[in-house]
A = this chain, B = another copy of it.
Amino acid sequence: MATIGILGGGQLARMLALAGAPLGHRFLVVDNAEDPCAAQVAPLLHADWRDRDALVEFARRIDVATFDFENVPAETAHWLTGHVAVFPNPEALATAQDRFLEKTLFTGAGIGTPAFATVDSLDDLRDACARIGLPAVLKTRRLGYDGKGQCVLREPADIERAWQRLGGVPLILEAFVPFDCEVSVIAVRSRSGEFRHYPLTRNWHRDGILSASLAPLEGFVELEQRAIAHARELAERLDYVGVFALELFVHGGQLLANEMAPRVHNSGHWTIEGTACSQFENHVRAVLGQPLGDTAARGHSVMLNWIGELPEAGPVLAEPGAHWHDYGKSPRAGRKVGHATLCADDPATLAAMLERVGRALGRAEQVAPVIAALG
């Protein structure tokens, strides 16, 4: 039995605590939010991550620290290592927090990426656009998530507008990839160096936020092997411990790495019911140095994200093989408030279930691309 401290008390911390409790572990969440949803299932230390006195108290009460949010300041994470074991290590966190360091890591590891260039001035941006071409995406190097801190440039007139909107912090310009689809690898590496991965997952976004995930994928055998080799290479280069997600674009048979999330990931929520050992349980096992659990898919799973507010639970609860997740958060535009996972033994049964659930909840648009992919 160990006590695991989590920096951040959102739904990822909540699901980590729910997965670790059956194993006998205790949790302590540190967050400065008023009512962080993880505090409904685990004790809370109500404090800011920059409050060093609070973090000393936090470190004293736990055996190992981890994260529910990648934007915990890397220097805080580094300082914390003087007080308690911290996984993933702060260097991995710092790399994943900065889109330029991250893309540099990818290219150094021989992993394709969209063309990119750092942008620190309007002149930099003009040069980068000339070199990379339009359309392109201007992004803040740090603190972006769920499509925040991004701006698409389609024509030269957009350059100055984009600079007005995002300029003043370090930026990166990336080529816009007209991808065939988006996929992610959820993988885990333990303190002993053991590496495991879940099946490649296909993802659909709406308004920059994950809308649906599907796993496993049929007809992606060779791509999946390459994606997993990339994930393993990154984990080893970073001496990474814990679960992480590598998001990739598939474009004309090529894989282009988009970003790496140094934590359990929304596109791995389907593993709660779709595998014997979820990403949350495996993250707990990894940071404690326990043997990793089975990551093979049981049947076929789709995760549907609930953004802003929850739909009615009834139609999902009434469906055998469907699982409801309500994070206990209040509704707010753009906020992730819950998800549902639908599981079936075969793709046709899963497609029929998606069809029923989509119709009952008025979410036909959300399920349509997944049904098409299953067909």
Contacts and interface: CB of A to CB of B under 8 A. Distances in A.
A275 to B, nearest CB: 10
B273 A273 contact: no
Interface in A283-305: 285, 290-291, 293-294, 296, 298
Contacts of A42: 41
Given A276-B343, A293-B317, A343-B276, A40 B23 contact: no
A69 interface: no
Interface stretch (A147-155, A210-218, A325-333): A325-333
B318 A276 contact: no
A293 B320 contact: yes
A24 interface: yes
A324 B23 contact: yes
Chain A: interface size category = 35 or more
Contacts of A17: 41
A323 B285 contact: no
A1 B317 contact: no
A350 to B, nearest CB: 14
Contacts of A22: 15, 18, 272, 323-326
A326 B24 contact: yes
Contacts of A313: 23, 290
Nearest to A317: B291
B317 A285 contact: yes
Interface string A303-314: 000000010011
A291 B273 CA distance: 19
Nearest to A42: B41
Interface string A1-28: 1000000000000110110011110100
A12 to B, nearest CB: 13
A338 interface: yes
A281 to B, nearest CB: 9
A23 B326 contact: yes
B318 A291 contact: yes
A290 B276 contact: no
Residue from the set A40, A42, A320 with the largest chain B CB neighbour count within 10 Å: A40
A285 to B, nearest CB: 7
Given A18-B18, A42-B41, A317-B285, A338 B291 contact: no
A135 interface: no
A167 interface: no
A313 B294 CA distance: 16
B273 A276 contact: yes
A112 interface: no
A21 B18 contact: yes
A264 B26 CA distance: 24
A71 to B, nearest CB: 26
A160 to B, nearest CB: 46
14 contacts: A18-B22, A18-B41, A22-B323, A23-B325, A23-B326, A24-B328, A24-B338, A41-B41, A273-B276, A276-B323, A290-B314, A293-B320, A296-B320, A298-B298
Interface of A: 1, 14-15, 17-18, 21-24, 26, 40-42, 272-273, 276, 285, 290-291, 293-294, 296, 298, 310, 313-314, 317-318, 320-321, 323-328, 338, 343
- Minimum-distance CB pairs A-B, first 4: A24-B326, A294-B320, A291-B318, A291-B317
